Structure formats: C-alpha cells, structure tokens
Amino acid sequence: MHQVLAGLATGGIYASVALALVMIYQATHHLNFAQGELAMFCTYLAWSLINAGFGYWPAFLLTVGLAFVLGVVIERVIIRPVENSPVLAVVVVFIGLLVILNSVTGWIYSYTIKTFPSPFPAEPFFGNKYMSSHEIGAIGITLVVLLLLYAFFRFTPLGLAMRAAAQNPASAKLVGIRVGWMLALGWGLAAAIGSIAGMMVAPIVFLDPNMMAGILLYAFAAALVGGVDSPGGAVFGGFLVGVLENVLGAFVIGNELKLAVALVLIIGVLVVKPTGFFGKVHVTRV
Amino acid sequence: MAALLQVSKLHAAYGPTRVLHGIDFSIEEGSITALLGANGAGKTTTLRALCAMVQTSGEVRFGGARIDGKATEDIVRLGIAHVPDGRGTFVNLSTEENLRLGAYVRKDRRAVEQDFERVYSYFPRLKERRHQQAGTLSGGEQQMLAVSRALMLRPRLLLLDEPSFGLAPLIVREIFDIMRAINQREKVSILLVEQNAAMALDLADHAYLIETGRVMLSGTSDEIKQDEAVRRSYLGY
C-alpha cells in the first residue's frame, strides 16, 4: 500500500514532466531532450532565491515566472533558427542544450549535492501512516497544475489559438494567429510546468545537476505509454509509471533495477502499441 | 473609382520553380471576380501569393495600401479572409471552435457572438453540428464551415479556392447561391478560383483566364463567355 501511494507521488512528478514533453511535441513534433535539465536549472534558481532570503512560496512563483521567460527565450533564440531543419539537426540542438544547461549549472553551483526545502510540514497530515505530507502535497500541486492547464486550453481564446496553431499552422496563420509566438508560449508553459516538477522532486532526490536524468527517462516512458500526442494520456502514464516503478522496485526486481522498468516500458510500448493508450494514429496522405 | 485590390507584375515561385510570371489584375469593391484556368495554371498560387504564403515579387495594393511583403497574419488582420485549397479545417476542434478561431483577431466580442447566428442562418446544418468534431463533418459541411470561418472575420475581401472541389452538384449549387447572397447582402468582395468555368462565370461579374502563370484574357463574365477559345476549351460547347 505504501509503495503504491509513494508511486503516485513520484508519478505526479513524472506526469508533469511528461506533460511538458507532450506540449512541445504537439506543437512542433519534437521531443525536447533538454526538458529535464531545464527543470533542474530552474530548481537551482529557486534554491538561489530561497537562499537569498525569499520565502518558499514567493520563490516558487518567481521561479515559475522565470522558467516561463527562459522557455520563451530559448525557443526564440535557439530553436527558431533550426525550426525547419531536418529532425536530426533539432535533436542535436536539444542534446547540446542539455549538456550546456548541465555544465553551466555545475559550474555555477558545483556538483555537490544540496538539500532543497519542502513547503509542506515534516509530520504527516492527519497522522496517517502511508504518505508523507510532501508526497500528498506534490500530488495536490500536480493536480492543480493539470486543472489550470486544462481550463486554460479549454476555455480561453489564447488556449484555443495555441491548440489551433499546434494542429494546423497554415490554417492558423490564415485566421490571423501569430503561430511563431504560440510556439514560444508553448515552450514557456512547458518550462514552467517542468520547473514545478523540479521543485517538487528536489526535496526527495536532493538537488544536483544530474537529478533529472532518471526522471526524464520515466517521463519519456510516461509520455509514450499515454500516447505522445495526448496530454491526458501523459498524466495517466505518469501516475502509472510511478506506481509500477515503485511496486516492481520494492517487491520484484529490487531498487537497483528500477530504471529498467522505464526502458522496458518504452521498448514495450514502441513495439506493441506505438501510439500509446490514448494516442491517435497518424495517417499521412501520399 | 480605385480598385479594392490592385495586383501588378506579381511573380511567385516554390523554391526554384517559378509559377507566376508577372500577372496583373484588379478587383472592384463589391464585385465577384473569377480566376479561371486549367490545372497547374497558377490559380491557387495566385491566392497564396496574395496572402504571402509563397515567395513573391511584384506589387499588391489593398484599399490603396501595399500589402506585399507583409506577413500572412497581418494581411488577414486587414480584412482578407482566405478559404484555402483543402478547406483548412481544424479537424480536432469542434465546429464552434473553428468558427471562433475565424474571429480570433476581432476585438468586438458582442458582434462576434451575433455573427455566430448570422453564419448559422446561412448554413443551418452547422448549427446542428456545432459541438461535433469538425473532422467528422462531411465534405460539403466542411466547405460550409470553411466559408463560415472566413465570414467570422467580417472580411472586406473573401478569397475562395475551388469551393466546388469534390462536392456533389447539389451542394455546390447551394454554396454558390449563398456566395451570391453574401456578396449582395454584406457587400463582401469575392475572388473566386474555380475549375468549373461555367458555374464561376454565372456567379462572377468579371473574370480572368490564367494559363501557365500569365493572364491570357480578361473582361466581364459575359465577354468571356462569348470568347470562342474559352467556349471550346473551358465551357465545352
């Protein structure tokens, strides 16, 4: 029971990162390999802010804002010039971004592991035996983020325009949507979601420049399980991968081989059902 | 009277392939103008060139001001609505969301809400299907949706690319009748690209015949209908 619940907590974090991946994938059909490092870098920013004397929540909000701006700037400055390049060129840019963010963080903050505070009390809520307050809080925040995103895309004109731009850029331009900016906004939102995931996971795995490597892998698995073009699927996949990883890790294969669960899932999904549970089959007319 | 749209020496190319070789034409305010021609003559490219969707050179004036060199999004904001080749439906969004996107650049919220009713009055079928995913509509309904989406912009000029393509004759007639009504009631000028020359000439006031990227013939629809070569090659009698 405890393992399942703990799995839900980490699953929420995978779900957030997977959601960030899916958002960029939907808009540009690229998988952003640097998503995890971006989240890690933002978590360090939050750490700096907290150390500079900000309270946790002001630092949290400020970090989300900074992450958004960082995402927009990266899209405008780094991704835009390679927008129409072959997919390999884009992948190389993503990997370059990953390495740069990782090294820059190590250079600024050193590679020594740091602790990161949790906003939630140390003693469990209501004296329950199963989940720590941080785990419950992380799930709660994930769900709030999801609801806000859903409402944004479903009910606001800007959200509708972003969906339109992602689906059919040519038509979107013909109704006057500035498609380039919509992509930049998508990057900003994805970076902001990633930063929240980073801040939620840092108290559990501690802060170090490589903290997101494993998480990104789980998030990839989650995105694939759910269907890489389905936001709802990504969230479902995130929770599923989190639970599977914890339960299998605790009872079947042991903690050392946990990461293999993600790899097996990725390969399994790609072989058996490449579109994932909720993905759509894309048919291209020739 | 100055023309609403004045095009001179318009060239267009897809990469190294040149498609338009300096065409000239103009559209009078409130009129319906047809571009006729065979497959590959450059009709669709002409519409795309007006909206900066291909590389172009030459001069395009809309309401007197130059619009060549502007981005597609900005040209749309001036009041040019383009119903593209293939209809450009947002297939995963609902009918209503498609229409809402048509009015994306408008700020007059209340008038937009009224315009939903206005386009539904032209195409009652869309109202029945307003919550349905647009990709599941029939071809004719999607064409109606494409025209309606363009009307939601409250355009001064409507560019229509082959509205008859792939549709049953009865539905084509319905759509053409509504075009005429829209033109007369709302004073929207229309530039129509059609392969079905007979129908296009019945609807239009003026027509231009394009062959391999050049204007071969222009005049009022009646003049064009009288032309011996047009009759034999395009009208088939």
| Whole-complex ipTM | 0.89
- The better pLDDT of the pair A126, B54 is held by B54
Distance CA A22, CA A32 (A): 9
SS3 (DSSP) at A15: helix
Question: Is the per-residue pLDDT at B30 higher than 50?
Answer: yes
Q: Is A128 on the interface with B (CB under 8 A)?
A: no
Q: Is B73 on the interface with A (CB under 8 A)?
A: yes
pLDDT digits (tens, 9 = 90+) for B85-121: 889 999 989 999 999 999 999 999 899 999 999 999 9
Task: Please tell me the predicted confidence (pLDDT) of residue A286.
Answer: 45
Distance CA A34, CA A247 (A): 28
In chain A (286 residues long), the average pLDDT of successive 10-residue segments reads: 81 89 83 90 94 91 96 92 85 91 90 86 72 85 88 91 90 93 92 92 87 88 84 87 85 74 82 74 53
Does A161 sit within 8 Å of B89, measured CB to CB? no
Distance CA B159, CA B194 (A): 11
Question: Is the per-residue pLDDT at B75 higher than 50?
Answer: yes
Q: Pairing mode, if any, of strands B80-83 and B157-161?
A: parallel
Does A167 sit within 8 Å of B73, measured CB to CB? no
- Minimal CA–CA distance to B129: which of B164, B155, B173, B97? B97
Domain boundaries in chain B? 5-235
Task: Please tell me the predicted confidence (pLDDT) of residue A253.
Answer: 75
Long-range contacts, B206-209 (Cβ 8 Å, 24+): B206/B27, B206/B28, B206/B31, B206/B32, B206/B33, B206/B34, B207/B33, B207/B34, B207/B35, B207/B36, B208/B25, B208/B33, B208/B34, B208/B35, B208/B36, B209/B36, B209/B37, B209/B234
β-bridge mates for residue B66, sequence order: B61
Task: Please tell me the predicted confidence (pLDDT) of residue A135.
Answer: 84
Residues B183/B190, Cβ–Cβ less than 8 Å: yes
Does A177 sit within 8 Å of B92, measured CB to CB? no
Question: Is the per-residue pLDDT at B32 higher than 50?
Answer: yes
SS3 (DSSP) at B217: strand
Q: B58 falls in which pLDDT band (50, 70, 90)? A: very high
H or E element: which one contains A129?
none
Residues A209/A100, Cβ–Cβ less than 8 Å: no
Burial class (CB in 10 A: 0-12, 13-18, 19+), A10: buried
Preferred mutation among B73, B106, B160 to probe A, highest tally of A CBs within 10 A: B73
pLDDT digits (tens, 9 = 90+) for B214-237: 998 999 998 988 888 888 877 777
Does B88 sit within 8 Å of A174, measured CB to CB? yes
CB-nearest partner of A164 from B72, B77, B93:
B93
Distance CA A145, CA A20 (A): 11
Task: Please tell me the predicted confidence (pLDDT) of residue B94.
Answer: 93
CB-nearest partner of A160 from B73, B76, B100:
B100
Q: Is B183 on the interface with A (CB under 8 A)?
A: no
Task: Please tell me the predicted confidence (pLDDT) of residue A172.
Answer: 94
| Fold exhibited by the domain B5-235 | Rossmann fold (3.40.50)
Task: Please tell me the predicted confidence (pLDDT) of residue A229.
Answer: 77
Distance CA B119, CA B96 (A): 11
- Minimal CA–CA distance to A176: which of B163, B152, B147? B152
Domain boundaries in chain A? 22-211
Closest CA–CA distance from residue B8 to any residue of chain A (Å):
23
Does B104 sit within 8 Å of A176, measured CB to CB? yes
Question: Is the per-residue pLDDT at B1 higher than 80?
Answer: no
Tokens of B231: 């009759």
Report angle CA A132, A136, A138 to the nearest 5 degrees.
Answer: 110
Residues A76/A184, Cβ–Cβ less than 8 Å: yes
